[in-house]
Chain A
Amino acid sequence: MNVLEARNVTKNYGHVTALDDVSLSIATSTILGLIGPNGSGKTTFVNLATGFSNLDGGDLLFNGHRINGRHPDEISRLGIARTFQETRVFRKMTVIENLLVASRDQKKARDLLTLVGLSRLEREYSGNLSYGQQKLLEFVRVLMMDPTVIFLDEPTAGIDPILTDGLLKWFKMLPDQGKTLIIVEHNMDVINAICERIVVLHHGRRIAEGTPLEIQQDRLVQDAYLGGA
């Protein structure tokens, strides 16, 4: 069964159609890439799937159950988590406090911090962390919820190559734990490195879907987004 399914999803903002009759199915324990030019509807889709926006048409299903119109906190508790484009750590709270907000499991929090190398900053105010460290924090914070599906909104934007490699390494571990990742990205190297499948959006429509190789060779995608081969 598909863990997440979108059926004819439509979303309008006034006269602008952000998503137009988009359907897609996401299998469990995979990494899916969601790409497309700016304004193609990627973040809108993430907002709809995580409850921060309401659908104007169509259905969203999580493990077969409709999640249309549910509040973000409900959806989060069901098992769909997300990070934000602009890192939104709780700046006036310490690193470990950020994690404990999600779950009281102190051991798990410390283990996650050790995994990503933030242990020594445990009691530091997260507002004082560097941009890269904050992105790491946001990532492990989401993991504290033990989610089934994770939407990562531009997780490597503004991150140096070494840290990016680290992030990719951890992302790749997640399907083995039964988790599904959906990564919204502009960095095609990142997408090609870890995504098993890619969905391409353009003007609110799904114009292509396939493996990284198939997408690279797809003419439509090249014209719309990637430029020449």
Chain B
Amino acid sequence: MTTEKSTSLLRSKAYVPLVIIALLAAVPSVTSNSYVLHVLIMILFYAVLSEAWSILAGFAGQFSLGHAAFFGIGAYTSTLLFIWSGVSPWVGMFIGAGLAVVLSLVIGFLCFRLRGPFFSLVTIAFAETLRLLFLNWGPLTGGPVGLLVPLSGDSLANFQFLSRIPYYYTLMAITLIVIYVTYRIRNSQLGLRFMAIREDEDAAQSLGINIIRYKLIALAISVFFTALAGTFYAQYLLFLHPDAIMSLNFSIEIALPAIIGGMGTIWGPIIGSIILTPLAEFTRSIFGGGYAGVYLIIYGSILILTMMFLPNGITHAIAARSRSASRSLEAKP
């Protein structure tokens, strides 16, 4: 019955990812269209961010609306280290991630005892505080004018390329790592403990689980990858501004693919990004510069509709439907 279903699912899930990876890797040899590559890069970009966010939200049940702050720390750290000391962004990336993780642990330690919406509110407050600090700290971050990443042309050492293709492969690698990490978590006791915390903190404690410690672990993993993505962004777009990358809007954009696609799953955030990101890019190309926020109207509407009709996200809805379908098949005499 259920045993059969589980093993057959496992079998099919094994080759699907490999096929996808092969397809993704093949794209640049099929097309060198810069725009297509850009859209794919953006899809992967939001997939990485949302998958990382989902580790904290979907697994441990803590909904951070301030992840943009950690993204910003990653982006600014590697960029500033590059500007000041010529440190390669490949190295700066990990230093930025480390800094972000340390800060997040402090914040998490202080805030994890806050319940549900209060935790979300305090993450917003922290993120806004950081954004305002960065916005007003001219000498450090360029202030309201923003910060340009010094151009190095085509330089592997400086993590800058003239073609989109190397960016694409780099991001693909990061995406695969994040997916793999999520997969390992999901299939380990760590992941089970995260889910236990999300379901019932008291029961989890009664089983010897130190709630704060596990939430901090989830937070650290989540923030690490968020900050890595920040450095990637800096190297890809070559311009940083606190209002763009450390704002509440961006924090929401990070969370959205996971919310729509399904939190606490491996593929949910990715499916979410595949649906949402092209919509945003397409909208942006239609409406142009004057109406930069139109895609947010679409995002907001999708969010509202999803919460009303598919509150657990698309992947959970599909899973539930296939479960009830197989059960009704079994029920037949």
Contact = CB atoms under 8 A, between A and B. Distances in A.
B290 interface: no
Interface in A49-94: 50-52, 71-74, 76-77, 81-82, 84, 88-93
Nearest to B214: A73
Nearest to B7: A123
Question: Which of the four size classes fits the interface of chain B?
Answer: 20 to 34
B203 A88 contact: yes
Contacts of B206: 50, 72-73, 76, 81-82, 84, 142
B328 interface: no
B154 interface: no
Contact of A101 (B6, B196, B210): B196
A93 B202 CA distance: 16
Contacts of B196: 90, 93, 101
Taking each of A71, A76, A141, which has the highest tally of chain B beta carbons within 10 Å of its own beta carbon?
A: A76
Interface stretch (B40-48, B68-76, B187-195, B222-230): B187-195
Contacts of A82: 206
B2 A101 contact: no
A104 to B, nearest CB: 5
Interface string B178-201: 000000000001001101100110
A102 interface: yes
B202 A72 contact: yes
A104 B189 CA distance: 7
A182 to B, nearest CB: 15
Taking each of A82, A90, A141, A144, which has the highest tally of chain B beta carbons within 10 Å of its own beta carbon?
A: A90
A57 B203 CA distance: 26
B294 interface: no
B192 A101 contact: yes
Given A101-B189, A123-B6, A72 B195 contact: no
Interface residues of A, number: 30
A159 to B, nearest CB: 19
Contact of A73 (B6, B192, B209): B209
Interface of A is mostly: loop
Contacts of A76: 205-208
A92 B199 contact: yes
Given A90-B199, A93-B196, A102 B207 contact: yes
A71 B208 contact: no
Given A77-B208, A101-B207, A141-B207, A88 B189 contact: no
Contacts of A101: 189, 192-193, 196, 204, 207, 209
B199 A93 contact: yes
A50 B210 CA distance: 14
B202 A97 contact: no
A145 B207 contact: yes
B3 interface: yes
A100 interface: yes
A149 B211 CA distance: 22
A51 B203 CA distance: 12
B324 to A, nearest CB: 12
Interface of B: 2-3, 6, 189, 192-193, 195-196, 199-200, 202-211
Interface of A: 50-52, 71-74, 76-77, 81-82, 84, 88-93, 97, 100-102, 104, 122-124, 141-142, 144-145
26 contacts: A50-B206, A51-B205, A52-B202, A71-B210, A72-B206, A73-B207, A73-B209, A74-B210, A76-B206, A76-B208, A84-B202, A84-B203, A90-B196, A90-B203, A92-B199, A93-B195, A100-B189, A101-B189, A101-B192, A101-B196, A102-B208, A104-B189, A123-B2, A123-B6, A142-B206, A145-B208
Given A88-B203, A100-B192, 4 more contacts: A73-B210, A84-B203, A90-B196, A123-B6
